[in-house]
Amino acid sequence: MSEYSELGHDAATVGIVAKKYFTFAAPPHTLELESGARIGPVTIAYETYGTLAPDRRNAVLVLHALSGDSHVAGVYTPQDEKPGWWDCMVGPGKGIDTDRFFVVCSNVIGSCMGSTGPASTHPATGKPYGLEFPVVTIGDMVAAQKALVDHLGIAQLLCVVGGSIGGMQVLEWCVRYPQMVVAAIPLATTMRHSALAIAFNEVARQSIMADPHWNHGDYYGGPKPALGLAVARMIGHITYLSDESMRLKFGRRLQDKSDFSFNFDADFQVESYLRYQGRKFVDRFDANSFLYITKAADYFDLGQQHGGGSDVKACSKARAKFLVISFTSDWLYPTYQARSIVTALKKCGRDVSFCEIEAQWGHDAFLIPGARLKSLIHGFLQRVHDELRA
Label the pairing between strands 42-49 and 38-39.
unpaired
Nearest to 144 by CA among 170, 118, 164, 116: 116
The model carries a pTM of 0.95
pLDDT at 300 over 60: yes
Catalytic residue list contains 364:
no
Q: Give the span between the Cα atoms of 195 and 181, in whole angstroms.
A: 30
Q: What is the DSSP string of 6-29?
A: HTT--TT---B---EEEEE--TTS
Predicted confidence band of residue 11 (pLDDT cuts 50, 70, 90): low
pLDDT at 1 over 90: no
Name the catalytic one among 316, 363, 364, 385: 363
Note the CATH number of domain 194-299: 1.10.1740.110
Domain boundaries, the chain: 3-193+302-389, 194-299
| E strand segments, 102-258 | 102-106, 157-163, 181-187
pLDDT at 98 over 50: yes
What's the start-to-end Cα distance of the chain, in Å?
38
Catalytic residue list contains 330:
yes
Write out pLDDT tens, residues 29-81: 999 999 999 999 999 999 999 999 999 999 999 999 999 999 999 999 999 98
CATH class of the 3-193+302-389 domain in this structure:
alpha beta
Write out pLDDT tens, residues 212-248: 999 999 999 999 999 999 999 999 999 999 999 999 9
Q: Report which of residues 258 and 59 the model is more confident about.
A: 59
pLDDT at 6 over 60: no
Secondary structure letter of residue 134 according to DSSP:
P
Name the catalytic one among 286, 330, 364, 385: 330
Q: CB-based burial of residue 158 (10 Å sphere; 0-12 exposed, 13-18 middle, 19+ buried)?
A: buried
Q: Do domains 3-193+302-389 and 194-299 have the same CATH topology?
A: no
Catalytic residue list contains 69:
no
Q: Give the span between the Cα atoms of 103 and 171, in whole angstroms.
A: 18
What stretch of H or E contains 323?
strand 321-327
Instruction: Kindly give, in sequence order, each residue whose CB lies less than 8 Å from that of residue 20, ignoring residues fewer than 6 positions away.
Output: 45, 46, 47, 48
Name the catalytic one among 164, 245, 289, 316: 164
